[in-house]
A = this chain, B = another copy of it.
Amino acid sequence: MTTASTYERLASRFRLIATIGECSSMLGWDASAVMPPGGGGGRGDQLAVLAVLQHQHLTAPEIEADLAAAETSDPWEAANLRLMRHAYTRANALPPDLVEAQAKANSDCEKVWRVARKNSDFGLVRPYLTEVLRLTREGAAALSDALGLSPYDALMDGHQQGIGADDVVPIFAAYEEFLSTVLPEVERYQAGQADPVRPVGPFPIAAQQALCRDLAQRLGLDFDHARLDQSAHPFSGGTPTDVRITTRYVEDDFTSAILAVVHETGHALYERGLPLAYARLPVGEAAGMAVHESQSLIVEMQAVRSDSFLGWLGGRLHETFGGAPESYRLENLGRLWRRVQRSTIRVDADELTYPAHVILRFRLERAMIAGDLTIADLPAAWNDGLCALLGVTPPNDAQGCLQDIHWYDGAFGYFPSYTLGAMAAAQLMQAARAQVPSIDEAFSRGDLSPLLAWLRIHVHGVGSRLDFNSILEQATGRKLDPTAFQVHLRQRYLRVKG
C-alpha cells in the first residue's frame, strides 16, 4: 500500500463524514425554516442518528493506522492530515458514555432553560446547568489530556483552533481599559448630535423581502447556490454549494430584517468561497467560528455600516419604501444604525459595547470551568461583572445570566469568537483598504466586489489550511492586533481620523 493511497483512503472517509454532516446541516435548516411543529420529534431522532454515524466513521479503528502512516509533501494535504489527526483525537478523547450523557444533559437543560428564561426563574434551571457544567468539565479534562491544552482552551479549540485563553486575556483587558475611557467620550459626542429620526412605516413584508434578496445578491450571493428564508432567529446554514440564510421581518421596522440578511450574507459568502478542490475535507472547511464571525462582521459592520455604503443604501431604502427623504440620508441612517447605548442584552448591543458582554461571559465561563465559580454564585457574579464593565445592572435574571442559550446547551468556550471576529474584521478591513484603494468608492455604489475579491484570496480560499492567527498574518502582515478595531471605533464613533 503506497502512502498516496493511504492519504486517499483517509480523504474518502472524511468526505463521507462531511457528506453526512451536509445532510445534518440541511435538515437543521429545514427544522428552523420550514418544518411543521409536529416534525420536531422525528427530526431530533434523524439528527441524532446522523451524529452517531459521523462519530462511528470518525472513530473507526481502521483510521488510526492510516493517520499514523500517511505522509505528504503537499502543504494542503499536510494541513489536511494535521486536521484529520486533530479531529480524530478530539472524537476519541471522550468516552461514548460521556458523549451520550452530555447530549442528554444539554438537551434537558436547554428545554428547562426556555421556561426558566420566560419566567426569569434561575432556580428552576440551576440543577440542570450544574449537571451540564459537571459533564462539560469532565469532558474538558479528557480533551485537555488528549490535546495537551488547558481544559478551557480544549473547549475553545472546539470552536476555533489556534488561539487560547492566554492570547485572549490581555486582549480583553486592553479592551476593557479602552472602553472605560472611550465609552464616556462617545456618549458625550453623541449627546451633542441630533437624535435620529425613525422612518415611519408600515414597510410591507413583500417589499422588505425583495429588497433583502436584491441586497444579498448585490453583496455577491448567487441564488443559484443559495436561498433566503424566514426563521425565528436569523442564521446561515446549508452547504457551500447550497447555502441557506434566514432573516425575520416585522412590518413596522425594516432594520432587523436588513441587517440580519447582511450579516448572514457575510457568513454565506465565506462558505461559498471555500476552496472547491478540497470540498468536504477538513482543510477545505471554514477555519473556525472566530474567522466565520469576522466574515459576517466585515460585511455587516465594516462594509455595510460604512459611510460610503450607507449613503448608497439610504437611497435604495427610500426608493423602496418612500416617505420623508431626510430619514434615509446618511447622517440620520448613521445615527440610527450606529447608535451606542449601554444595555444589559448582548444581542441588542452596539459594536462598541458588545465586547463588554463577551468579556463578562469569557471570564465567568473560565472561572466555571476552572471550578472557581459555582452555578449557585453565577447570577450575582453576572450582575456584578456587568456593572463593573458597563455600569448597568440587569433588572432580573432573564435579562441577566439567563439571556443566552450557549451554556444551557453545553457550549462553553464559544463566546470569545464573537469579539475575536469583530477585531479580526477591523484588521482585515484595514489591510484590504490599504491594498485595494477602490474599495470605498465601490461601496458608495453598493458594490462589494473589490472587497469580496480580496477576501476570496486572503480568507475564503484559504479554507482551514491556516489557523486564525496565521490567516491574519498572511493577510495583514501580523497576528491579531486589537488596535485596528480601536482605530475603527474611534473613527466611527468619535470621528477621529485613523
Contacts and interface: CB of A to CB of B under 8 A. Distances in A.
A49 interface: yes
Contacts of A481: none
A23 B46 contact: yes
Interface residue range, chain A? 20 to 34
A46 to B, nearest CB: 5
Nearest to A50: B23
Interface stretch (A218-226, A332-340, A440-448, A464-472): A218-226
Given A22-B46, A53-B53, A38 B224 contact: yes
A439 B53 CA distance: 48
A239 interface: yes
Contact of A222 (B23, B38, B46): B38
A19 B50 CA distance: 9
Interface string A49-91: 1100100000000000000000000000000000000000000
Contacts of A43: 242
A30 interface: yes
Given A42-B239, A43-B242, A239-B42, A225 B23 contact: no
A19 B53 CA distance: 12
Contact of A49 (B19, B46, B226, B242): B19
A41 B19 CA distance: 12
* Chain A interface helix/strand/loop/mixed: helix
A458 interface: no
Contacts of A1: none
A39 interface: yes
Given A41-B241, A241-B41, A46 B26 contact: yes
A27 interface: yes
Contacts of A392: none
Contact of A23 (B16, B27, B36, B227): B27
Contacts of A53: 20, 53
Nearest to A52: B16
A80 B248 CA distance: 46
Interface in A214-248: 222-227, 238-239, 241-242
A36 B239 contact: no
A95 interface: no
A19 B34 contact: no
A207 interface: no
Contacts of A46: 19, 22-23, 26
Contacts of A23: 23, 27, 46, 49-50
Most chain B CB within 10 A, of A43, A225, A242, is at A242
A35 B222 CA distance: 13
Nearest to A34: B227
Contacts of A238: 39
A225 B39 contact: yes
22 contacts: A16-B49, A19-B45, A22-B46, A23-B23, A23-B27, A26-B27, A27-B27, A34-B34, A35-B242, A36-B226, A36-B242, A37-B224, A38-B222, A38-B225, A38-B242, A39-B225, A39-B238, A39-B239, A39-B241, A39-B242, A41-B241, A53-B53
